[in-house]
Amino acid sequence: MLADLRVLARGDDDEAGDELLAWQSLRVESLAASMAPGQPTRLATGPVRLSRFFSRLVVTPEGRLNLRDVRGGDAPAPATPAATSSPAAPLELDIAGVEFVDGRVDFRDRFIQPNYSASLSELNGKLGRLRSGTREMATLEITGRAADTATLELRGALNPTADPLALDIAAKASGLELAPLSPYAGKYAGYAIERGKLSMDVAYRVDADGRLQARNRIVLNQLTFGDPVDSPVATKLPVRLALALLADRNGVIDVDLPISGSINDPEFSVFGLVLKVIGNLLVKAVTSPFALLSGGGGDETGAVEFLPGTATLAPSAEAALDRIAQALKDRPALQTTVAGAADATAEHDAI
């Protein structure tokens, strides 16, 4: 057992001296390791129990994750001449399982301005047997709290050692306060957030060929934008109008954002895909509002057709008009203007 570990951050910035990694106890039932020149390093353990653990994750002002820069000693490792360089020996893992007890993760994003910080707390759960060299996945169950306001649940299976990554995970978060996310809203939407809550129900699966299939159900409750923010990368779309189109009469926005792609693509980015899907949804809301209000099956121009030469609605228009009427009833903040038009030739022939 290794108890009361504390690893401190080093450097010249304001993170220096802060705890980077810590735990109260790490208990391993059994441990076997072997190392030999030219051979894979092998590490096998019995059941592992990690209690009262802590980790600090920081996105630096340069956009890098702090853990990527962790190293020991005061000087960089000496360079190896190109003629004698060789790839690192692979690591073979066989971990019987890990139990997590009362963990906490602090996250700070110093890349975005103003800075954002959040915490994951009360993390408890289990990771099943994890073996490298196979796509067999370890079961995962984690529960906890996010930012002290939301419940968090993560279930599924994964194998991070597989190539490509083996993953089949579902996660839920409920009741996350949106106001602390204002720095992100300001940067990408162009407005600060005054209030609102977020709930998410997502599922991500990566197949053996590296194909990602993801489902993202996002529920925004009482999302209220505040003052505009001058951001060069913010969307130029009328975001407030789009939200008014998407929200129901109770101020709830409930959308599904499916995404897919290949993690083998060097340009692949889950965050980029999500932003693209959200952008497409906002574009549809602004450019084709009547199609959105009618459930995607209506005329994008919002035209309601009558039978030529009569005051009788066309059969196809009745159902669409009912859907639009209900949608407008559910969105009292929206107003519409109705303008008449006629096809003189069609009217003449019908009369």
Domain ranges of the chain: 1-67+90-140, 178-287, 293-351
| Mean pLDDT (whole number) for 61-83 | 57
Instruction: Mean pLDDT check: name the lowest of 11-25, 100-114, 223-237, 254-268.
Output: 11-25
Name the nearest CA neighbour of 181 among 238, 235, 220. Answer: 220
- pLDDT at residue 300, as a whole number: 58
Instruction: Mean pLDDT check: name the lowest of 180-189, 200-209, 308-317.
Output: 308-317
More confident residue, 335 or 120: 120
Percentage above 70 pLDDT, the chain: 88
- pLDDT at residue 73, as a whole number: 47
Are 336 and 328 in contact by the 8 Å Cβ rule? The answer is: yes
260-278 residue pLDDT tens: 888 888 777 777 777 788 8
Mention every residue, 6+ apart, whose C-beta is less than 8 A from residue 133. 92, 161
- pLDDT at residue 123, as a whole number: 95
Report the b/e string of 212-231 with b at 16+ CB within 10 A.
Answer: bebebebebbebebeeebeb
More confident residue, 226 or 85: 226
Distances (CA, A) of 122 to 109, 144, 152, 312: 21, 5, 10, 63
Instruction: Name the DSSP class of 263.
Output: T
Name the nearest CA neighbour of 155 among 141, 167, 168. Answer: 141
| Mean pLDDT (whole number) for 306-325 | 83
Helix (H, G, I), strand (E, B) or coil at 343: coil
| This prediction's pTM | 0.72
Residue listed under structure tokens 């073979």: 92
